[in-house]
Amino acid sequence: MASIINVILSGGVGSRLWPLSRKARPKQYIPLFEGQSLFELTVARNQGVVDRTIMVGSIQNVDLAKPYLPEHKSQTIVEASPRNTAAAIAFAAFACNPDDILIVTPSDHLIENQTQYEAVLKQGVEMAQQDYLVTFGIQPNRPETGYGYIEYEDNYVLSFREKPNLETAKEFLKRGNFLWNSGIFCFKASIYLEELFRFEPKVFRASKEVFEASHHGVLSEELSAKIPSKSIDYAVMERSERIKVIPSQFVWSDMGSYDSLYDYLKVKGHAVDSAGNMVIGTDKYVSFVGVQDTILVYTEDALLVVKKQASQDVKHLYEELEHGASPLL
């Protein structure tokens, strides 16, 4: 009998939330959300729908995940060298029966309205049982430039759009037939693998070789290096004719940058001064003079000061530190 399996992707480093997020402890494992982490919340919210959980994560932080995975109903696939989401999902699909339904979720999203969320997932499972590749789109409530978009009509995808500039995002909102791309997917293991083989045979074959050579769920770093690094969006979702989208109303944020974290913390009562400035990570007295909508982030070894509107640019700072082999990563 086919099972429903939550595939949790946890290979990212959360570069736009540096310095809170580090390689050794990425953002999804930081207990910022009323004492819980995004990973912990992700596992819990899907348990009412799925039979098992498969976590595909980095060897650097897999031990952080294990305490939150359901005992006797979970499996861990450890990437020594992550090769993007197309391969990560392929590993999980190879570990399943062909008719198993995979609900693929990132580990760093914040979702509210559990009842509506579960209802949408169940709708996705029904579509996946008909051999569709299902993606979930979020109804936008602002012209967001940090998310990709899906142009749609009913449950049909007309196009996928990259992160837009502000004017384009406003136009998307005005037109009313665009959804935020949530990065949550649902499909049969076999259908995903068929489409991956069809569009990216090199990714399919290399991923299969790596999976079959794995030892106790740990993948070979040397073999993994041969896998082309492709996202599921580019490798499959933007190219397949089997795609369906479900417009969704549950409250969603990918918590990918400080503007998202700021909005969440503000709603939860975190202190914000009269000019919209916020301090994260310290109880020390901080005074902002002559600036507004600015976020100060404190850690023991680093300070970040960023305008809320420039939160996406923290990724560029992270890349500079990475290029310089900084120990602060």
Q: Could you give the 3-state DSSP secondary structure of residue 279?
A: strand
Q: The tokens 């799925």 sit on which residue?
A: 50
Res 162: pLDDT: 92
From 319, 308, 302, select the one nearest 257 (Cα to Cα).
Answer: 308
Token readout for 147 is: 């998310």
Number of C-beta neighbours around residue 23 at 10 A: 14
Decide the pairing of beta strands 243-248 and 133-138: parallel
Res 296: pLDDT: 97
Bigger pLDDT: 201 vs 142: 201
**8 Å CB contact between 296 and 277:** yes
Token readout for 22 is: 């580090």
Torsion of CA 325, 306, 298, 12, to 10 degrees: -50
For the chain, percent of residues with pLDDT exceeding 70: 100
- When pLDDT is cut at 50, 70 and 90, the band that residue 60 belongs to is confident
Fold of 4-253: Spore Coat Polysaccharide Biosynthesis Protein SpsA; Chain A (3.90.550)
Rounded to 5 degrees, what are φ and ψ at 239? -125, -20
Strand pairing partners for 218? Answer: 78, 215
Res 77: pLDDT: 95
Res 13: pLDDT: 80
Mean per-residue pLDDT of the chain: 94
Full-model pTM: 0.91
Res 97: pLDDT: 97
**8 Å CB contact between 75 and 217:** yes
Strand pairing partners for 7? Answer: 54, 104
Q: Where are the domains of the chain?
A: 4-253, 258-323
pLDDT reading at 175 higher than 90: yes
Residue 221 host element (H or E): helix 221-224
Spatial distance between the Cα atoms of 102 and 53, rounded to a whole number of angstroms: 9
Q: Positive or negative, the Cα torsion across 268, 272, 278, 279?
A: negative
- Tens of pLDDT, residue by residue over 75-131, are 999 998 889 999 999 999 999 999 999 999 999 999 989 999 999 999 999 999 999
